[in-house]
Structure 1
Amino acid sequence: MSTTHAMSSQPVTGAAQLHLLFDQMADAVYLLDPDTSNIVWGNRKAWESLGLSAEEVLNHSVLSLQKDVHGMPQWSEIAAAIRATDCYRFNGRHRHKDGHEVVVEVNTTHFSMDGRPYFLSVARDITNRVEQERDAQSRERQLWFALNEASDGLWDWDVPTGQLFFSPQLKRMLGYGPDEMAPVLSTWSDNVHPEDKPSVIGTLQAHLHGKRERYEAAYRLRNRNGHYIWVHDRGRVCDHAPDGSPARVVGTVRNINDQKELEAQLQQMAAHDVLTGLPNRREGLRFLESQLSLCRRMALPLAVVFIDVDAFKTINDRFGHGTGDTVLQRIADVLRSGIRSSDRVCRWGGEEFVLIAPGTTPEGVMQLADKLRVEVQAAVQVRDVPVSVSMGVAVAEGDRLDAQHLLFDADAALYRAKRNGRNRVEWAA
């Protein structure tokens, strides 16, 4: 029997060709004696991949190659497992002659030939694959860490089981300890603000059903103290089940509460007068248009009242613009507190205000305007001298409901109140 490529003393038809084919394989092939664990045949890769010669491998125990199998008792257990299955697969480590390890994936089958049992093992060197997987895992951990540090939190949702992982950063953001927040979907969904929940859940479902490329939403989320904070939440399906359904979704959460507060402040500044806090002219026109539509639809009257501070230039000239500003602020307070919740009073510009009162009859708005005039004179003074206002009132309904005409008529009535002596309310002619 040859020392390198012999399996038995009997010649095998085409044996040379078979040896040649096996020697071209990229994987190591070993023929083993199940009882002794000896290697009775191998291809060239069987020893060259380990830096050995054929003589150092053939007729030696396979245990001499392995770093993870020690002694015959353990080999007997493995042999029994090999016999019990069609293909026994395991990952192990072979010893290279220069001392380093060769990580191998070994697939072993069993068969009989000439009445003798044999094991045939194919060992594939997966050292590079293992290193790449380790590198990928390391990079994934680094990326996960970087994402966690770059955001206020991470989440990882196992869709089939409903398990939802919350990162420590996310728990801290919401005021929870490391062992709090049950890892289930309801822990999140039950704390989404009721007004935001339909939109948020709808957006998430649209992504899960493939209608959106990613899930992304800004909404209010309740923290441990019961307060709602604004968050920006985005995620994506990263794994699918065999049937194509989403299996895993991961995402990041960022606290945007400060940003939302700033946006609210900017919106407030854009729509309100800085000095008095009343809606400004632009917001007043927007409100007027919305109420025109409502009153047309509901067949209601709509009243507009122009209000102007009497002798305001004299107040500024005699007492300074600081005093003038205080007068405007006090008048604004009186007007704000004297109207209904459905009404809106705005600072139109300079010393002029406009009151918009939907659903108010001519008699009702005249009474309201005169009440406000009296209250301003009683509450606002400069050096014990009462400050007065003049007002012009216009009301329209039905086909006559038009913003431009209402404002023009109320302004004309105000001019008449000024001309007729001030500190009075005039009706549009």
Structure 2
Amino acid sequence: MSLKVVIIGGGSSYTPEILEGLIERQPTLPVSEIVLVDVEAGKEKVATICQLGNRMIEEAGAAIELTWTLDRRSALKGADFVSTQIRVGGLAARAQDERIPLKHGMIGQETNGAGGIMKAFRTIPVLMEVAKEVQELCPDAWMINFTNPAGIVTEALLNHSAHKKVIGVCNIPFNMRHSTAELLQVPPEDVWIQFIGLNHFVFGDKVYVSGEDRTEDVFQKLLSKEFDYSPANIMPLDWSETFIQSARLLPNPYHQYYFQSEKVLEKDLKAYEENGTRAEVVQALEESLFDLYKQESLREKPKELEQRGGAFYSQVACSLMDSIYNNKEDIQTVNTWNHGTIPDLPYDAVIEANCVITKNGPKPIAIGEIPAPMRGMIQNMKAMEELVIKASMSGDYKDAYNAFLVNPLIQDEKKAKVVLDELLEAHEDYLPQFKR
């Protein structure tokens, strides 16, 4: 059997990552056709990626037909897997998500706080349309969603679209496993972390190496401050001894936004004054990346892509496809329905959890109750996510305001309105649901 993979947002600078992963897995994941899909604004980029991808395929001697198109419906016909990695409004929209909150003394970040909410508002309606077309044109296909905020987007699709074969993925749990392996100086494949929580708000509850509980060793290493396990696009900050010893949970790098807010805001404002928003820095980086991609001598994913962040992207997305296709029943960390896995959260909520990956999708491994120190925070984050989804679907200003008000990085009733109003105006072209 041959497989067809469609990548929505194929002009992304990340696409060489997933192409590399699919090429490497051809012996077990027999992909014979890949179609890159983008919009008119991304036409030049997707064409460049396609040319690089075909050179990578030729270099590897792989039997894969790689094409690109702006016609999403024609691309979806007969697809087995549909990977979604879109950015509605591009990096210019991300710059607004970062700049406007910073102007009002709030953290401006693309998937957290006010900026993350606005990204969801722009994204969910578009991916709902994609899911509708997938259900119509390739109903047996699995949608692998990498679009941030991945957990919120995945819950919106699972609970409000007709297509239910949707799985959200994020590289943070994979990155944490590899970083923990480096911390303990053991092979990554020997490390297993019990995760509990939500996308970008997930904790490590236990760490095992070859079945041995090494949680305490990890905490001691963190306390020694000998190691930085943050991805390239997130600044490392030290965790205090009190935080590690009291919470007894392994934080992920995004937790600095919530538990070290003042220090992060200070650093963000300094970086903004010196270099502009992170989006503007990324824009410059992407220009240099695409200059590299255009070089006909380049026949592999360039090392410079690591500076863009998103480490292990191809590993996460492609390993998931491989396990579904081959019914591997291995364990991977994905975003999927709770269905009682965490009894403290709603049954139909989407959580980020270790799952057994089968041909019928992910089967979450029971976790139990959320540890007391973080139970309220995680429940609050889930309530906020539900409000974000509601506002994305309704286009109701009051729903949007409530989502802002409940977000832990805002929680100021006057600032919430000011920042919401400015962001709605800035993104008016990409928020048709709010025009009602």
TM-score category, normalised to shorter length: under 0.3
The structure in which a higher percent of residues are helix is 2
Greater length-normalized contact order (CA 8 Å, ≥ 6 residues apart): 2
The structure in which a higher percent of residues are strand is 1
Q: Which has the larger radius of gyration?
A: 1
